[in-house]
A and B are shown apart, each in its own frame.
Chain A
């Protein structure tokens, strides 16, 4: 279906706009990452963009040529400064680092529930950004990482999204995924049948951290450069909003929310520059895209508080009405 969608888009929009839609696939992949942990466990995380950031920075720094790094980022630890990796290697490295970081964070934090969990993961995001921005031995400081190989075209963006959806689907149908979803339904009953909430949450958190690190790398290969502000508050809120607008409790909701909002977002911001659609030229007033997007999200939430998907889920035989384990 996604492939069809991509094909359809290319007939409707011009080349430059199509490029922007790759962005939508990457952002949607991030929504799916957050869904793996928050959607299945019911515990909100504001921290996942930290894992995206770790992945993006690791991939960005390692894909820069050594001599280039020496010139711009002289403070870096030598093993970062002197090494260079290709596209695939940076993706794998980013996934490993994201997973490892999520594991360490998760060991401490997955015991928390509700708002405490939300704020604690937010604190992780704050620390990650603060460190990347100010500790120039590991990060670029206030500068942005320039000249990252732009290997994320339509193919890599789409493959990354499909990979994330497939992993998320396999996980949620697995025994571990079903155990975690039971803890979301009723934590007390889950303990009553022998489910270890801490362990199940940690598995999902680590898995989704690895996925987020990977997507971070894909993202930086799309952007071509990255600064700490690009993987901080705005992205966090946007990804969470997409998840909730689509519907937190199903993978279909996460995918739908991610795709629909990021497509609209892309259209609107392109629209500000003037957009030709079916050979008509449209131009939106400058900086009106944020206003329209926010208003649209508010309207969806008011009219469908359970999200666009309303509990429906992907299934092998079409969509199931009910969200299940």
Chain B
């Protein structure tokens, strides 16, 4: 396959669970300094794709390249330490640790010294608007804040690529627009490539540079927000119900 330095690139990824095809021949590229939206109805295979990209699951066929290296068989922690991190659709905060400690330990996980970790935590708590909760145990946070904590934790690993699995679920209108600003900031100031799974159509159309649509495990469409908005099949399969 063609090497694309500075990108996360997956070729013809398929994943089958006991005969059920969750993902079928999906090819996708995330470049640095770019936000890709990943949308599709429930069960389309979005989380499966993130699992395969992040090393929490392995493809039945196909390959994943990170900045020219074939990382298809790499473990999750190795990918994180190479700059590819993800958040989880279902929380996975460290429940007994405070918000601050959650972020610190993520920095420590990628080898930062304790002082550095503490400073990064302060910054990220501020950025995410979680400063008030910094000493609250993660288990006690509302769902929306728990997702934001997940994002902060991912950023604490100093990633080049971030895969966000429904990070804005549970946020209200105001919080969503603040979140859109954070995404853009991460793209522009940290120069990161972002894959954003999101059901909120205005957010996706507003913040993404390109959009990738999955349906029943296969790529349905790919293109700029305008192209996707006007794509007839997408409107039928997905956007129709929400945007219409």
Contacts and interface: CB of A to CB of B under 8 A. Distances in A.
Complex A–B touching at CB under 8 A: yes
Contacts of B98: 324
B80 A182 contact: no
Given A182-B97, A185-B97, A325-B105, A192 B114 contact: no
Interface string B57-81: 0000000000000000001110011
Contacts of B117: 175
A190 interface: yes
Interface residues of B, number: 33
Interface stretch (A2-10, A67-75, A193-201, A302-310): A193-201
Count chain B CB atoms within 10 A of each CB in A175, A190, A323 and give the residue with the most. Answer: A175
Contacts of B104: 178
B162 to A, nearest CB: 12
Contact of B101 (A188, A192, A324): A324
B164 interface: no
B137 A179 contact: no
Given A175-B114, A185-B96, A193 B101 contact: no
A325 B104 CA distance: 10
Interface string B1-37: 0000000000000000000000000000000000000
Contact of A193 (B114, B137, B154): B154
A227 to B, nearest CB: 42
Contacts of A179: 105, 108-109
Count chain A CB atoms within 10 A of each CB in B77, B80, B137 and give the residue with the most. Answer: B77
Given A179-B108, A179-B109, A192 B86 contact: yes
A322 interface: yes
Nearest to B54: A192
B85 A193 contact: yes
Contacts of A324: 96-98, 101
A125 to B, nearest CB: 30
State the majority secondary structure of interface residues on A.
helix
Interface in B75-119: 75-77, 80-81, 85-88, 92-98, 101, 104-106, 108-110, 113-114, 117
Nearest to B79: A194
A101 B96 CA distance: 33
Contacts, number: 82
Contacts of B47: none
A192 B105 contact: no
A156 B128 CA distance: 52
Contacts of A181: 105
A193 B98 CA distance: 16
Interface string A230-256: 000000000000000000000000000
Nearest to B112: A175
A29 B105 CA distance: 28
A189 B92 contact: yes
Contact of A182 (B85, B109, B137): B109
Contact of A325 (B92, B97, B113, B153): B97
A182 B56 CA distance: 18
Contacts of A182: 94, 97, 105, 109
Contacts of B96: 185, 322-324
A186 B97 CA distance: 10
B228 interface: no
A200 to B, nearest CB: 9
A324 B76 CA distance: 25
Interface of B: 54, 56, 75-77, 80-81, 85-88, 92-98, 101, 104-106, 108-110, 113-114, 117, 137, 153-154, 156-157
**Among all A-B residue pairs, the 4 with the closest Cβ atoms:** A194-B80, A193-B106, A185-B94, A189-B92
Interface of A: 175, 178-179, 181-182, 185-186, 188-197, 322-325
